[in-house]
Amino acid sequence: MKKTILSGSTVTGDLTLGNYIGAIHNWKQLQDQYDCLYFLADLHALTTTQDPSVLKNRIYSFFAQYLALGLDPKKNVIFVQSHVHEHTELNWILTCLTPMGYLNRMTQFKEKAEKNIKNINAGLFTYPVLMAADILLYQADLVPVGEDQRQHLELCRDIVGFFERAYQKDIFKMPEAHIGKVGARIMSLQDPLKKMSKSDDNEKNFVSIIEDPKKIEKKIKSAATDSGTEIQFDEENKPGVSNLLTLYSALTGRTISELEQAYVGKMYGHLKVDLAEVVIETLKPVRAQYDDLIKNQDYLDELMKSGAERAQARAQKTLAQVYQAIGLVARKN
């Protein structure tokens, strides 16, 4: 039996070059070794009020972006969270078991609440419980999470314990963080000390995978570089140039030292011009594929449907066990 990996992504922004590199290094391998589920966390996006037409387009766009990056819908279960209503049902059960005190400790809640003082809603507060429901419904063994989601995964593990203590039933698998092979870590273009993120407020910090080539060029050319002029990999003293070299190496397969050699005596500008071209060429087929997919909404609908059906068949089983364990009466058919 293969282990189950589950990964969700909140529907905000567009996927970035960082995602591209993670994807090409991980997905093919993961899909052979594990039973993989990927979903778009559209419900999680609602903790900030969304413009309905923007959200709708974004859900299609995100789905198409994942496919354009090479996620295979036959080998992986790819679906939209709101298409499987069991997520919100289990969410309620788990919400009733999660102490406020535990949620109060979540640093992401504190950060987000600070950033968005005008809309500190209860959903923002209980967000990690919905995340726990996402994970536990599928009996996931492993969850690839970044630093920012680690605490939420810990809470999910606590919730497994709360359920067992309350109902004396051991239904959920205890999930663990999946530490994948670390592909290249791509940093923000303007602030190379932090990770490139799709939800960055400053869009100069990232290149999206479906970005216009002119914009790509501009963003790479205006990426932060460091004092000095030498093109050398030195993360501590030259984080900007190092990031560009990492990116270059990840996209071309040339080693960092090979690149350093090639750029001896050249300027940052040379590196940027070349790198911009590499990025544009790399993303060209991704964007072409995306353009094809996004025109074909019927096809996307169909894939979403079959993904949701496969996911739901599994989610239903877990939820039925939970309802039974807590004493709810099953509706007779």
Q: Which of 271, 294, 281, 246 is nearest to 21 (CA)?
A: 246
User: Nearest distance from residue 292's CB to ligand TRP, in Å?
Assistant: 27
Structure tokens at 59: 């859900």
CB 315 within 8 A of CB 138: yes
Query: Is 56 considered catalytic here?
Result: no
Q: Which of 195, 219, 238, 272 is catalytic?
A: 195
> Position 301: which residue type?
D
Q: Does 196 bind ligand TRP (CB under 6 A)?
A: no
Question: For residues 15 and 143, which CB has a smaller minimum distance to ligand TRP in the complex?
Answer: 143
User: Nearest distance from residue 143's CB to ligand TRP, in Å?
Assistant: 5
Q: Does 134 bind ligand TRP (CB under 6 A)?
A: yes
User: Nearest distance from residue 12's CB to ligand TRP, in Å?
Assistant: 8
- Binders of ligand TRP among residues 93 to 132 (CB under 6 A) are 131
Query: Is 112 considered catalytic here?
Result: yes
CA–CA separation, 196 and 206 (whole Å): 6
Among 37, 68, 124, 143, binds ligand TRP (CB under 6 A): 143
User: Nearest distance from residue 96's CB to ligand TRP, in Å?
Assistant: 19
CA–CA separation, 247 and 21 (whole Å): 9
CA–CA separation, 234 and 221 (whole Å): 20
* Strand-pair partners of 142: 5, 176
CA–CA separation, 246 and 268 (whole Å): 14
Q: Which of 112, 204, 218, 317 is catalytic?
A: 112
Structure tokens at 218: 């501009």
The footprint of ligand TRP (CB under 6 A) covers: 6-10, 41, 44, 131, 134-135, 143, 145, 149
The residues annotated as belonging to the active site are 112, 195, 198
